[in-house]
Amino acid sequence: MALKPWEQISEESLIQYKVFHVRKARRRSPRTGKDIGLFILDTIDWVNVVAFTKQQELILVRQYRHGIEDFTLEIPGGVLHGDEDPEEAACRELREESGYEPGEVTRIGRAAPNPAFQTNQITTYLASDCELAGDLIQDQGEDLEVVLVPRAEVEARVRAGEIDHALVLAGLYFHKLESEN
């Protein structure tokens, strides 16, 4: 028996913020005929950037994340602005969050951050031969510290739990797959 999509019974908008919209929905299972309530988060697509300097150092940023009330070590990334091209957004985010500009940029993957309740996608880019171009251009809600990690140490940082953001790990995995080709 092939799986079938769930039937939409009802849906209502709950709240609209700058970067996301929350909807409350009821859907009916095609298998059981029973319906359930759920929440859907419509949000803007994101980009992240696995970026290496000419010295083969991975460019990371340390920042405080309110959800876990702790600091994370992440690759640069963020939301697209309007109809912005994802590659342009990746270069912009890299420059704003790290001060670096890439020599070359390549799209290496796309993923659904959490398809259980989110509608957006994240596209990952590889930026190579990055050079420092100036100071950080931080958003009002950001306090960033740039951390350069030699390529040979990245896997050890992941294994040690120093790099544990799921979307960063996905980006690093896309890079691993790309480097195996």
CB atoms within 10 A of CB 101: 17
- DSSP assignment of 117-158 equals TB---EEEEEEEEEEE-S-----TT---EEEEEEGGGHHHHH
Mean pLDDT by 10 residues, the chain (181 residues): 93 94 98 97 97 98 96 97 96 98 98 97 98 92 95 97 97 95 77
Among all chains, which residue has been given the structure tokens 């209502």?
12
pTM of structure? 0.94
Phi and psi at residue 78, in whole multiples of 5°?
A: 170, -165
How far apart, in whole angstroms, are the C-alpha atoms of residue 125 and residue 106? 5
Say if CB 124 and CB 47 are below 8 A apart: yes
What is the set of domains in the chain, with CATH numbers?
7-43 (no CATH), 46-180 (3.90.79.10)
